[in-house]
Amino acid sequence: MDNTGILLILFTVIELVLLGVVTAFFMRLKKSEALVSTLQERQEEFLNRLQFNAQLEQELVQSFQQRQKQLTALDEQLETQAKRLEKLLAQAREYSKSPSFLRQIILSGHKEGASPERLAKSTGLSLEEVQLIIDQAG
């Protein structure tokens, strides 16, 4: 074999080695592309989840704000009712302390058969005062 034959064989071997290197490179490139594609899909999925979570969080915040407004309105209504009831209780206390009201209680209780001791205890008057009212009416 002469030099040209050896050179031809050497170039052929070099070309085969380069072809193997290029093939290996393209195979790795395909794997990298598949990996990049998978990563992009996962990133999109993650972003979709983040968006969904943000939307849920926003809905929760809005719901919480709405509940807070409702609670505030209910608290105001409760305060108004409490003040109204306090006024009514004060009026009832004043009315229950009036002599004519106590006289009516004692007389109606006496007609129903309640003892003077019981009437004295329930009205806060003394037994003598209850007896006097009963005697004046009878």
Please state the domain extents for the chain.
1-88, 98-137
Give the pLDDT of residue 134. Answer: 87
What whole-number distance in Å separates Cα of residue 101 and Cα of residue 31?
Answer: 99
What whole-number distance in Å separates Cα of residue 72 and Cα of residue 80?
Answer: 12
What whole-number distance in Å separates Cα of residue 42 and Cα of residue 30?
Answer: 18
Record the tokens describing residue 86, joined without a space. 């306090």
With beta carbons less than 8 A apart as the criterion, state whether 122 and 104 touch. Answer: no
Global pTM reads 0.45
Give the pLDDT of residue 112. Answer: 87
Point out the residues of the chain with pLDDT beneath 70: 1, 95-98, 138
Give the pLDDT of residue 96. Answer: 65
Give the pLDDT of residue 23. Answer: 97
Q: What is the dihedral of CA 16, 22, 26, 29, to 10 degrees?
A: 150
Give the pLDDT of residue 93. Answer: 72
3 state SS of 66: helix
Record the tokens describing residue 130, joined without a space. 């209850």
Give the pLDDT of residue 64. Answer: 96
Q: What is the dihedral of CA 84, 90, 95, 97, to 10 degrees?
A: 170
User: Hunting for tokens 């209850």 — which residue is that?
Assistant: 130
